[in-house]
Amino acid sequence: MKNGLVILVLSIGLAACGSVENSRYRDTAMLEKPPTLALQKTPQNVVVDDSIEPKKQVGGLDEKVVLLDENTKKLVLKQSISEAWRTVGTALRQSDMKVTDYDKAKHLYYVSYKSQGMLNGLVGFLNKEASEVIYLLTLESKDAETLISATLASNHEQRESANNNPDGVYENPAEDSDGLIEHLYHVLRDDVKTE
């Protein structure tokens, strides 16, 4: 019974609110109107291309990096030396290569690289640390571009790297600077994510 009485009182209150006529709320003539915008007409002979274009790959430098296949492989990065220094550093951090040391003033990176050769791959499978070799990446300014080359680091640097590794065993490393340059080329061309 109480519920019915509450519903009746609420219904009467709602009906009373609806029947009040207040011109202030019903007259909209005094409201501000939005400005009228001129519509631009499109010409009749315009053709709209709704085809979907393939999106450009996110990441990678594409044609900004070139692999020179000479006596020893080298890279040409179509960037100034300071830009190339940052780009190569980013690529090394984003790849499986480890920077063991660097000299920014001389534009040198010392990189630990696991050779992908057949013999080194077998040695690497048996002893992970034995196949890691230290290489020297050198960046040289050539006009508005940067030339990147790789050479095997000195025996002293190889031994020092092995000594810093608790399980490291120094062995005379096999030369695979061309493999390092090719690997860096693919990272720079396809995978590096620069801001």
Q: Which two tokens stand for residue 43?
A: 């010409």
- The CATH number of the domain where 69 resides is what? 3.30.310.170
In angstroms, what CA-CA distances link 194 with 49, 56, 174? 32, 15, 32
Number of domains in the chain: 1
Q: Does residue 52 lie within any of the structural domains?
A: no
Q: Does residue 107 lie within any of the structural domains?
A: yes
Distance from chain centroid for Cα 120: 30
Query: What tens-digit pLDDT sequence spans the chain (195 residues)?
Result: 778 888 888 777 776 666 556 656 667 777 777 777 776 665 666 565 555 554 444 567 788 899 998 888 999 999 999 999 999 998 998 887 889 999 999 999 999 988 655 444 444 445 444 467 889 999 999 989 999 999 988 776 666 665 555 555 445 556 788 989 999 999 898 887 765
Helices 177-186 and 81-94 cross at an angle (nearest 10°) of 90
Q: Does residue 89 lie within any of the structural domains?
A: yes
Query: Which domain range does residue 152 map to?
Result: 62-191
Q: Does residue 155 lie within any of the structural domains?
A: yes
Statement: the pTM of the whole predicted model exceeds 0.75: no
The SS3 of residue 35 is coil
Could you tell me if 81 and 108 are in contact, meaning their C-beta atoms sit under 8 angstroms apart? no
Amino acid (one-letter) located at 166: P
- Beta carbons within 10 angstroms of residue 18's beta carbon: 7
**Which residue from 132, 96, 135, 88 is spatially nearest to 114, judged by alpha carbons?**
132
To 5 degrees, how large is the angle CA 147–CA 152–CA 158? 135
Residues 6+ apart with CB under 8 A from 151: 135, 136, 138, 177
